[in-house]
């Protein structure tokens, strides 16, 4: 290692340690400044100030209804950069279950029969404390719920703590509703921030969200993820948008809910990065993250038909490979070598793979969990999904591991899953039904329906570590992998697997599930002495950043319609908040990246050369490492492996521990805040405004320029001539792929998949 690289890594470790201590809550971090609190007695308003400027107002008037009291967030106003105040939450507040003539009925703040009464008001240092009574009157039946607001400002963030009084369990949800009186409001989708969206209005950006680390809720839903138009009297409101969240409190099996206790963060700023949440991470050793980032992940499983033994045919079209590699493919086909595609990669000189064996389980892929050994012994693991007999040895799997680790010098992991469990009598899964998660109704919770038609039960999250410890030790003793892959845990919505069994710890708690699944990484890391990768999905994978060394980086937003290929190249949340804390591979499996809708069966979706180039350009834009994944067109999988190795593998080792010092967008080369404000179609791939041209400069000198614009080329100049470049560019009027030292540093990046990377460390 050079002195320059050594010094860089030492600096990184120091900064990494400081960064960990700084991230104590998800509250956004803004520029330093002073805070103050002022009360205006004539208007009953408290002013929350940052550097002597009022950013938020809270009206504590004691009216009877949401519109003339401080009982809901309707009483909170935020100041935009245009100088005007607006309501980030029109009628945000507690919804509760009240006794009525018709029985127990859930009511929202805006429902008929709901009034409010202020019980007490006080201040403590910089905090306003108000107790409110929410009163439901249904004919002659009256019911009520008392709760307390605590408001204070920290930096540019208004922190709102909401707690019910007397241990009441009547609160069923807290709806943050929609903004109102906002000037030209727009919903902003942020790649990898899947729990809520942002608001752009009044020349500023706003985030409003619950603290997922301290919540007592059962689930969070982005507000109306598919419908953003707010209609009033049949007309679309021009001053209102749904952009935030609802927190739900679901009953446990004894009929009781957890006591309501939530912290809400409201932040407005002209800088979009001021309103992005922070990620709370543990003090884990960074060497495993560095190791994971230096590898290219190869997802080795269906639809490859040669997982453990070779099929009758070669499985790939030799004539489509680059000429210099055809001899290796011919030799493998002729002599019937095992692990054909791995042998081919090795002969092609592809180094630094981390291989995940997918289909090895005794009852085949995703079946029979949690017990997976002994490995299946069937020659065709794609077509024989429901073997009638259990495999009786691990010989083939051990041989695969030995070849991968000792012959090819790759890392080797097995696909593991401690969420799904199958009928213990039918499958011999080793699962105890007493350890199954229960729904609120006391019925066993179900999850995945596999290829055999069996639907799994959900392992209670509090028992996941026990099953992982038992069966991963069995895997270690028999197969001894040197890294690990945890399917689903960091990809699933925690709300979908909560155990509502009132007799168990963490019943009904979203955060308990997250905490339990985070803890699994440490167990596997210590057991296998290698990095832990988690499946990254559309369900809040960012919560596991820093706990897992590595995540499969499926590209989603809080809008189900904006994902993968269609998502804007908006890299700020990823690079500023996540990049330093975990490694990331790919941008989702390549076929799901291009799938027409989330959840499509991407195993049956084929990709071509153009798609591979688009995919790699996107990886480079987000600073990710390579992921070689499934495709039915085998030669394209091999083509992708070659390009990942030539163009991504070298630079991923250098930018994985670097930090971005500048991220600029578009022909104007402006920051994200300016670009999004000036381009209404930033998230519409069919718009000329589509956010698709980005230049990222890292603190170690690496510069990445990517052009994903559907129709426009982009001329860029970066770095110094004579240095190392990777590029997909138009050179001498020809579409060219190149890597290595060049005598030029100006490039024309073609539409859809152009890139130029300057790496002075090479």
Inside any domain, residue 609: no
Question: How far does CA 8 lie from the centroid of its chain?
Answer: 28
Inside any domain, residue 16: no
What is the pLDDT averaged over residues 582-598? 88
Does 330 have pLDDT greater than 70? no
Inside any domain, residue 547: yes
pLDDT for 223: 80
Q: Which residue has the higher pLDDT, 340 or 638?
A: 638
Tell me how far apart the alpha carbons of residues 395 and 399 are, in angstroms, rounded to a whole number: 6
Structure tokens at 469: 């410890």
**Domain end call among 274, 303, 328:** 274
Q: Which CATH number belongs to the domain containing residue 434 in this structure?
A: 3.20.20
Question: CB under 8 Å to 692, separation ≥6 — which residues?
Answer: 568, 569, 707, 708, 709, 710
Same domain, 53 and 76: yes
E strand or H helix at 412: strand 411-416
Tell me how far apart the alpha carbons of residues 319 and 508 are, in angstroms, rounded to a whole number: 57
> Which residues partner with 116 through β-bridges?
134
What is the pLDDT averaged over residues 674-701? 97
Inside any domain, residue 654: no
pLDDT for 40: 96
How many independent structural domains does the chain possess?
3
User: 747 φ, ψ to 5°?
Assistant: -140, 145
Same domain, 266 and 297: no
Instruction: Please state whether beta strands 219-222 and 627-628 pair in parallel, antiparallel, or not at all (unpaired).
Output: unpaired
Q: Which of 257, 218, 264, 217 is nearest to 106 (CA)?
A: 257
Confidence of residue 328 (pLDDT cuts 50, 70, 90): low
Percent of the chain with pLDDT over 90: 73
Question: CB under 8 Å to 464, separation ≥6 — which residues?
Answer: 418, 419, 489, 516, 517, 520
Structure tokens at 521: 């990484």
Tell me how far apart the alpha carbons of residues 481 and 469 are, in angstroms, rounded to a whole number: 15
Q: Looking at 163-177, 274-288, 524-538, which range is the least confident one?
A: 274-288
Is the Cα torsion angle 593, 594, 599, 602 positive or negative in sign? negative
Inside any domain, residue 720: yes
Same domain, 270 and 408: no
Question: CB under 8 Å to 345, separation ≥6 — which residues?
Answer: 298, 353, 408, 638, 641
Q: Which CATH number belongs to the domain containing residue 177 in this structure?
A: 2.70.98
Domain that holds residue 676: 661-758
Q: What is the pLDDT of residues 79-131, one digit of tens each?
A: 999 999 999 999 999 999 999 998 999 999 999 999 999 999 999 889 999 99
Confidence of residue 607 (pLDDT cuts 50, 70, 90): confident
Tell me how far apart the alpha carbons of residues 635 and 317 are, in angstroms, rounded to a whole number: 6
Question: CB under 8 Å to 264, separation ≥6 — which residues?
Answer: 159, 160, 161, 162, 174, 176, 208, 209, 210, 211
Confidence of residue 58 (pLDDT cuts 50, 70, 90): very high
- Asked if 157 and 55 touch (Cβ cutoff 8 Å), the reply is no
440-479 burial, b for 16+ CB within 10 Å, e for fewer? beeeebebbebebebebbbbbbbbbbebbeebbeebeeeb
Question: CB under 8 Å to 6, separation ≥6 — which residues?
Answer: none
Confidence of residue 638 (pLDDT cuts 50, 70, 90): confident
Inside any domain, residue 656: no
Does 500 have pLDDT greater than 70? yes
Same domain, 179 and 317: no
Q: Which of 484, 476, 487, 489 is nearest to 413 (CA)?
A: 484
Rounded alpha-carbon distances, angstroms, from residue 648 to 616, 641, 653, 752, 757: 8, 10, 9, 17, 10
Locus of tokens 């922190």: 159
> Which residues partner with 532 through β-bridges?
484
Same domain, 232 and 358: no
Tell me how far apart the alpha carbons of residues 8 and 89 are, in angstroms, rounded to a whole number: 45
SS3 588: strand
> Which residues partner with 708 through β-bridges?
none
pLDDT for 634: 53
Angle at 159 between CA 156 and CA 162, to 5 degrees: 165
Confidence of residue 17 (pLDDT cuts 50, 70, 90): very low
pLDDT for 667: 97
Does 537 have pLDDT greater than 60? yes
pLDDT for 631: 56
Same domain, 419 and 504: yes
Inside any domain, residue 645: no
Q: Looking at 504-513, 588-597, 714-723, which range is the least confident one?
A: 588-597
Tell me how far apart the alpha carbons of residues 110 and 170 are, in angstroms, rounded to a whole number: 17
Rounded alpha-carbon distances, angstroms, from residue 132 to 119, 149, 444, 473: 6, 8, 39, 53
Structure tokens at 15: 């900064």
Same domain, 247 and 353: no
- Asked if 629 and 586 touch (Cβ cutoff 8 Å), the reply is yes
Structure tokens at 682: 């930033």
Report the Cα–Cα distance between both ends of the chain, in Å, rounded.
12
Same domain, 269 and 294: no
Same domain, 394 and 254: no
Does 19 have pLDDT greater than 50? no
Same domain, 452 and 487: yes
Strands (E), 358-395: none
SS3 209: strand
Confidence of residue 321 (pLDDT cuts 50, 70, 90): low
**Domain end call among 499, 521, 552:** 552
Q: What is the pLDDT of residues 208-234, one digit of tens each?
A: 999 999 999 999 999 875 667 788 777
> Which residues partner with 625 through β-bridges?
585
Does 444 have pLDDT greater than 50? yes
Tell me how far apart the alpha carbons of residues 411 and 483 are, in angstroms, rounded to a whole number: 6
Tell me how far apart the alpha carbons of residues 639 and 321 are, in angstroms, rounded to a whole number: 7
pLDDT for 209: 98
What is the pLDDT averaged over residues 18-26? 61
Same domain, 317 and 184: no
Region of 636 on the Ramachandran plot (φ > 0 left; ψ -120 to 50 alpha; else beta): alpha
Question: How large is the C-alpha radius of gyration of the chain?
Answer: 27
**Domain end call among 239, 274, 309:** 274
Tell me how far apart the alpha carbons of residues 727 and 705 are, in angstroms, rounded to a whole number: 9
Instruction: Please state whether beta strands 186-188 and 219-222 pair in parallel, antiparallel, or not at all (unpaired).
Output: unpaired
Inside any domain, residue 312: yes
Question: CB under 8 Å to 450, separation ≥6 — which residues?
Answer: 365, 366, 367, 385, 456
Same domain, 303 and 270: no
């Amino acid at each position: 290692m050079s002195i320059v690289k050594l010094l860089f890594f030492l600096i990184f470790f120091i900064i990494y340690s400081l960064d960990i201590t700084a991230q104590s809550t998800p509250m956004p971090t803004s520029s330093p400044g002073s805070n103050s609190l002022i009360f205006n007695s004539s208007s009953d308003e408290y002013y929350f100030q940052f550097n002597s400027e009022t950013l938020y107002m809270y009206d504590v008037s004691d009216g009877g209804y949401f519109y003339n009291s401080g009982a809901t967030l309707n009483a909170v106003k935020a100041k935009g950069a245009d100088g005007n105040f607006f309501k980030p939450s029109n009628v945000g507040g507690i919804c509760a279950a009240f006794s009525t003539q018709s029985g127990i009925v859930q009511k929202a703040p805006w429902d008929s029969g709901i009034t409010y009464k202020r019980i007490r008001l006080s201040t403590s240092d910089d905090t306003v404390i108000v107790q409110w009574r929410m009163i439901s009157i249904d004919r002659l039946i009256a019911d009520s719920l008392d709760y307390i607001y605590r408001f204070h400002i920290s930096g540019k963030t208004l922190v709102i703590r909401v707690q019910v009084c007397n241990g009441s369990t009547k609160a069923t949800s807290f709806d943050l509703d929609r903004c109102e009186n906002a000037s030209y409001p727009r919903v902003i989708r942020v790649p990898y921030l899947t729990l809520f969206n942002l608001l752009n209005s009044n020349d500023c950006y706003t985030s409003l969200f619950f603290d997922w680390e301290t919540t007592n809720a059962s689930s969070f839903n982005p507000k109306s993820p598919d419908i953003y138009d707010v209609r009033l009297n049949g007309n679309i409101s021009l001053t209102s948008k749904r952009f935030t969240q609802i927190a739900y409190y679901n009953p446990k099996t004894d009929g009781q809910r957890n006591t309501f206790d939530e912290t809400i963060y409201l932040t407005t700023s002209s800088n979009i990065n001021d309103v992005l949440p922070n990620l709370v991470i543990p003090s884990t050793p960074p060497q495993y993250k560095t190791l994971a980032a230096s590898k290219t992940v190869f997802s080795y499983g269906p639809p490859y038909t040669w997982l453990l033994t070779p099929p009758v045919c070669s499985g790939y079209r030799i004539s489509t490979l680059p000429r210099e590699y055809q001899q290796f493919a011919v030799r493998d086909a002729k002599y019937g070598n095992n692990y054909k595609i791995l042998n081919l990669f090795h002969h092609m000189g592809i180094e630094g793979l981390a291989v995940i064996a997918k289909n090895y389980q005794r009852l085949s892929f995703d079946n029979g969990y949690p017990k997976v050994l002994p490995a299946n012994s069937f020659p065709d693991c794609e077509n024989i999904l429901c073997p009638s007999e259990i495999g009786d040895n691990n010989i083939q799997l051990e041989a695969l591991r030995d070849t991968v680790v000792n012959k090819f010098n790759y890392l080797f992991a097995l696909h593991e899953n401690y969420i799904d469990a199958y009928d213990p009598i039918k499958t011999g899964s080793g699962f105890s039904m007493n350890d199954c998660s229960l729904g609120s109704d006391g019925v066993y919770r179900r999850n995945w329906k596999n290829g055999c038609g069996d639907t799994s039960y959900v392992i209670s999250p509090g028992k996941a570590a026990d099953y992982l410890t038992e069966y991963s030790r069995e895997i270690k003793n028999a197969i001894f992998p040197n890294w690990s892959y945890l399917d689903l845990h960091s990809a699933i919505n925690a709300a979908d697997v909560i155990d509502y069994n009132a007799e168990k710890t963490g019943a009904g708690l979203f955060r308990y599930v997250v905490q339990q699944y985070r803890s699994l990484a440490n167990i596997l890391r210590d057991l296998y002495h290698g990095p832990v990768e988690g499946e990254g999905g559309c369900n809040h994978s960012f919560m596991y950043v820093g706990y897992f060394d590595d995540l499969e980086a499926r590209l989603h937003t809080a809008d189900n319609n904006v994902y993968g290929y269609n998502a804007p190249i908006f890299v700020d949340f990823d690079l500023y908040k996540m990049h330093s804390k975990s490694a990331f591979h790919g941008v989702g499996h390549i076929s799901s990246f291009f799938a027409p809708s989330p959840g499509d069966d991407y195993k049956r979706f084929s990709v071509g050369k153009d798609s591979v180039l688009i995919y790699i350009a996107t990886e480079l834009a987000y600073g990710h490492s390579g992921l070689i994944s499934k495709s039915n067109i085998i030669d394209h999988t091999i083509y992708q492996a070659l390009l990942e190795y030539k163009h991504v593998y070298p630079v991923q080792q250098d930018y994985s521990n670097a930090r971005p010092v500048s991220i600029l967008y578009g022909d104007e080369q402006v920051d994200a805040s300016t670009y999004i404000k000036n381009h209404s179609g930033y998230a519409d791939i069919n718009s000329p405004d589509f956010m698709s041209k980005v230049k990222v400069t890292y603190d170690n000198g690496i510069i990445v320029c990517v052009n994903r614009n559907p129709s426009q080329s982009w001329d860029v100049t970066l770095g110094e001539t004579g240095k190392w470049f990777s590029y997909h560019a138009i050179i001498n009027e020809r579409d060219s792929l190149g890597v290595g030292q060049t005598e030029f540093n100006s490039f024309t990046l073609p539409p859809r998949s152009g890139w130029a990377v300057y790496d002075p460390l090479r």
